[in-house]
Chain A
Amino acid sequence: MFVLVLALAVGVLAGLLLRIGIPVPLLTYLGVAVLAALDSCLGGVRAALERTFSDRVFVFGFITNTLMAAFIVFVGERIGVRELYLAAVVAFGVRLFNNLGIVRRLMFERREWE
């Protein structure tokens, strides 16, 4: 688990040090994509704890989730329902907390076993 936190920190640091930015209008895309990615990652952790983790499913899920989220924002923007991104935010948000809850429970259970 510690390695994962470290990886996250490395990513953040790299981003901050490289001072990469994107055009402002694309910010919503990235925001929703981040949410989707976060959801995937928690899902991955959950799967790992549940012993159902599969590399392929995880990586593929991460990519598709992220792209799909951005795509929903794109479609929403193009058809004039800019709030469509909220659908992605809500969906991923709910899943995120759901996964978080499961991960927490699994971790506690593991503790007790040990």
Chain B
Amino acid sequence: MEPIKPVKYRISLVVVFAVLGLMVAVAFNTTTLASADQSGRTGDLAAVVSDMEAQREGLTTKVTELRAELETLERTAAEEAGQRESFNADVEGTREAAGLTDVTGPGVIVTLSDAKIVPPGEDANRYIIHDFDITAIVNALVAGGAEAVDVNGQRIVATTAIRCAGTTVLVNQTRLGAPYVVTAIGDANRLTTALESDLVASELFGAYRVQYGLEVRLDKRSGLTVPAFAGVLLPRYATPVVGE
């Protein structure tokens, strides 16, 4: 049984249904497009950052090459001066101790990652890994006798600062993103004990992991490699105490 005035209402109904369809489609478009480019307002600065990072990458390569070139010359000079042995020992000893060489050996890998879900209405800060979480892990590892440590390939040296810039973690002035992989070379059992006895690290492995769903993992491994420090160790204010 059809309504008596079908045409009249149908036109408005039809039009409105079409409008509804259009709205749904626009919403759909927006959500899909949004995931494609999330950078909105901060796009400009973000572009500056990546430009600078690329430039810096180039400088690092250049410095590495120049260093190698100069070192060859230096070694020849040392040889001619009859100081080959002592100079080589000097170079190698310094580089090893300063973190300017790769180091291989057994140890542990600690992986830290933000929680997958933040329940709505909760403070998101509790669900992400911060600079102090990483400093705590690194500190516990070196306290446990780690001989070389890196975070996502950034070697921890005497001048390494680990800090947060909002949600970004900077190590050796380099931006890192989760997951944060801390590799430490040393006695795996001692390192594990050190992590367990550290106040912050043990919380991360225990209560926080359970409560907030932070992803924290510890793996004991052998044959690990911790890379050399790629930056510059150039004192501007500190000078060695004079006199041999």
Contact = CB atoms under 8 A, between A and B. Distances in A.
A44 B40 contact: no
Contact of A27 (B18, B24, B34): B34
A15 B16 contact: no
Contacts of B55: none
Contacts of A55: 8-9, 12
Contact of A12 (B12, B14, B22, B34): B22
A110 B1 CA distance: 7
B10 A22 contact: no
A69 to B, nearest CB: 11
- By secondary structure, the A interface counts as helix
B40 A24 contact: yes
Given A11-B19, A11-B21, A48 B13 contact: yes
B120 to A, nearest CB: 9
Nearest to B8: A55
A53 to B, nearest CB: 5
Overall SS of chain B's interface: helix
A11 B24 CA distance: 8
Contacts of B40: 24
Interface stretch (B25-33, B68-76, B200-208): B25-33
Contact of B1 (A7, A27, A113): A113
Interface in B60-118: none
A66 to B, nearest CB: 8
Given A24-B30, A24-B34, A58-B9, A9 B16 contact: no
Contact of A20 (B12, B21, B26, B34): B26
Contacts of A5: 17
Interface in A1-37: 3-5, 7-16, 19-22, 24, 27, 30-31, 33-34, 37
Interface of B: 1, 3, 8-10, 12-31, 33-34, 40
30 contacts: A3-B14, A4-B13, A7-B14, A7-B17, A7-B21, A8-B18, A9-B21, A11-B18, A11-B23, A12-B24, A12-B25, A14-B18, A14-B25, A15-B26, A16-B29, A20-B25, A20-B26, A20-B29, A22-B26, A24-B34, A30-B27, A31-B27, A34-B20, A37-B16, A45-B13, A55-B12, A58-B16, A62-B19, A110-B1, A114-B1
